[in-house]
Amino acid sequence: MDIAGQLAAERDIGIVKARYCRFVDTKQWDDLAALFTPDAVLFFPESQAEPCGIADSMAFIASALVAPMVSVHHVHVPEITFTSADTASVIWAMEDQLFFPEGSASALGIGALVGYGHYHEEYRRTADGWKIARLRLDRLRLERTMQPARIM
């Protein structure tokens, strides 16, 4: 891949991940699912026993981030390694914040969670552009606040 192609692919991969964060935070589950290949495998080790396919993963994410809980996801400075002209391995530094309003059934007394870690992902270029084929979230730290969150 020439430098112009590599720069374009890096930009396109970054746009996919930016949309991932936005779609998760705005709870746009169909749009989120469209960012993945049909055979994608996702794994959130702190909450799942094993990796899951896209349908089970979307159901898990939607149930974990149910309204009125508010999430804010940030990713930073990707480490992109092209493994071929149409595949890439990417590690994203990440931070996510989950806010549970007072009276939220899912909060169990937790007001907020803040997590830090890394997404480890595999991307594949398809006829529809770059898609996520594998995702694993490894957290380094998780902080809990026990008072209910004030959501504006």
**What's the one-letter identity of residue 91?**
I
Are the beta carbons of 29 and 10 closer than 8 angstroms?
Answer: no
Amino acid sitting at position 43 = F
pLDDT at 1: 84
Q: Over 80: is that where the pLDDT of 107 sits? A: no
Q: 2-23 pLDDT, tens per residue?
A: 999 999 999 999 999 999 999 9
Q: What is the pLDDT of residues 40-97, one digit of tens each?
A: 999 999 888 999 999 999 999 998 888 888 999 999 999 999 999 999 999 999 999 9
Q: What pairing do the DSSP bridges indicate for beta strands 36-43 and 129-145? A: parallel
CA dist 92 and 140 (Å) reads 13
**pLDDT value at 149 more than 80:** no
Beta bridge pairs of residue 84: 87
Residue 20 is encoded by which pair of tokens? Answer: 């991932």
> Residue 123, exposed/middle/buried by CB under 10 A (0-12, 13-18, 19+)?
buried
Tell if the pTM clears 0.85, that is, is over it.
yes
Residues 71, 25 contacting (CB under 8 angstroms): yes
All structural domains of the chain, each given as residue ranges with its CATH number in brackets, are: 3-145 (3.10.450.50)
Degrees to nearest 5, angle at CA 47 with 124 and 36: 20
CA atoms within 13 A on the CB side of 116: 4
**For residue 132, which of 40, 10, 22, 11 has the smallest C-alpha distance?**
40
